[in-house]
Amino acid sequence: MNKRLVVLGAGESGVGAALLGNQLGFSVFVSDAGSVSQVFINQLDAHNIEWEGGQHSTERILQADIVVKSPGIPPHVPIVTAIKDKGIELVSEIEFASRYTSGTIVGITGTNGKTTTAMLAHHVLKSAGKSVALAGNVGVSFAKAVADENPDYWVLELSSFQLEDLRDFHPHIAVMTNLSPDHLDRYDNNYDRYADAKFNMLQKQTSEDYFIYDANDKDIQKGLLRNGPKSKCIPFTETTIHDKNLKSIDMNTIDNASLRGTHNAKNAMAAAAIAQLVNIRKETIRESLQTFQGAQHRLEHVLQILKVDYINDSKATNVNAAYYALESMNRPTVWIVGGVDKGNDYSALMPLVRQKVKAIICLGLDNEKLIDVFSPAVNLMVEASTMQEAVQAAYHLAEKGDAVLLSPACASFDLFDNYEDRGNQFKEQVRQL
């Protein structure tokens, strides 16, 4: 009898795990307490994988030999507790997929910058002729990718949610871009618990592995004291890789608009360290950085209209990401901000707001906190409840030589499906001006 695999959650991650499990010969059942997208229904049905939506059939789930939990499912919901109480092996999709590949894994996490760093690393390795795939929290799920290909190298973007429920996951190269408060509702408002979830990635590393991290990040330093890794530590700054065997990249010589700003210099330095650890020449790295095209929804230049630049930074779902965006602005800025507040402390943004922001457009169902915090610093504040309203307001407020920046500092789920939907709506409305 085939081993019984139950997958909790029928989104990108869960369906990827189901497809891989099915390919490996498991008897697969997928259970989602919510509705299941037609796209994923079609994929499951095409492979004759049993599934349910709108409920969890507890009795059947508890007959599993192994359960893969999708990252969006919190750790303390009743069905997860029941699985743990029965002693059934419960793992993340990342853990499950890692068991069925021989490729060298580069795992990249952090609060901000992980998408860009992952895309940069993938681009550099691919440009150097390496057999490499990009997966995880960007592109397709790791499990789906493992089902489809077998490269020599994996570059994985990993969220704190994905790094829960690990057992033996073992990245040869681990990268942490930075740490700042985010998703604290998942971790009972305990910042250390959130940080420690990120550090889970290092737990099974050995002295033959590497940990690359931002040398200036005090919260990473604190996390290292609690979670001292066995791997070789390689700190970096925006100018230097602190390792005698690795060469730094002079970012002043890189002419690429996608890599402007201190934060992107750091992302590039992390990618350069990764590349050198897999024996890519410095000159090849430099050439690759020149040709890199930035991630969608991350300081993405949309259009210039009447000498006003419109910039989509919808992926900035927390204060730290918005800080980086505002820091990179070199002209008066009309700032579109707001959404689902995750307990944000906006105080770190105030100096930049006073220096660079001429007007604020609050885009969300509840803008009271934003208005209270920023009205002393900015005289002109307006509210919008749709992206069309926000873009129209920005068009009227911005003048020649200004920038309009969508950098919400908040989650998107009050008005949009996700940050991609928010960013795409912004781009569409700008194109209609």
Tell me the mean pLDDT per 10 residues along the chain, length 433: 92 96 97 94 96 96 97 91 96 96 96 91 97 92 96 95 90 94 70 84 95 95 89 96 94 85 91 97 95 86 94 91 89 95 87 96 93 94 96 97 96 92 97 95
- Output the pLDDT for position 195: 83
- Output the pLDDT for position 112: 85
Residue 245 and residue 111 share a domain: yes
- 3-state helix/strand/coil string of the chain: CCCEEEEECCCHHHHHHHHHHHHHCCEEEEEECCCCCHHHHHHHHHCCCEEEECCCCHHHHCCCCEEEECCCCCCCCHHHHHHHHHCCEEEEHHHHHHCCCCCEEEEEECCCCHHHHHHHHHHHHHHCCCCEEEEECCCCCHHHHHHHCCCCEEEEECCCCCCCCCCCCCCCEEEECCCCCCCHHHHCCCHHHHHHHHHHHHCCCCCCCEEEEECCCHHHHHHHHHCCCCCEEEEECCCCECCCCCCCCCHHHCCCHHHCCHHHHHHHHHHHHHHHHCCCCHHHHHHHHHHCCCCCCCCEEEEEECCEEEEECCCCCCHHHHHHHHHHCCCCEEEEECCECCCCCHHHHHHHHHHHEEEEEEECCCCHHHHHHHCCCCCCEEEECCHHHHHHHHHHHCCCCCEEEECCCCECCCCCCCHHHHHHHHHHHHHCC
- Output the pLDDT for position 258: 77
23-65 pLDDT, tens per residue? 999 999 999 999 999 999 999 999 999 999 999 999 999 999 9
Per the structure, the complete domain to which residue 77 belongs is given by: 4-93
**What is the CATH number for 19?**
3.40.50.720
Per-chain mean pLDDT for the chain: 93
Residue 163 and residue 123 share a domain: yes
Residue 412 and residue 357 share a domain: yes
**What is the CATH number for 305?**
3.90.190.20
- Output the pLDDT for position 338: 95
Residue 245 and residue 187 share a domain: yes
Domain count, the chain: 3
Residue 106 and residue 53 share a domain: no
Residue 253 and residue 330 share a domain: no
Residue 325 and residue 220 share a domain: no
Domain termination residue (choose one: 37, 61, 93): 93
Residue 186 and residue 121 share a domain: yes
- Output the pLDDT for position 183: 67
Residue 184 and residue 80 share a domain: no
Residue 161 and residue 48 share a domain: no
**What is the CATH number for 206?**
3.40.1190.10
Residue 426 and residue 379 share a domain: yes
Domain termination residue (choose one: 93, 112, 128): 93
Domain termination residue (choose one: 261, 291, 321): 291
- Output the pLDDT for position 189: 76
Residue 275 and residue 211 share a domain: yes
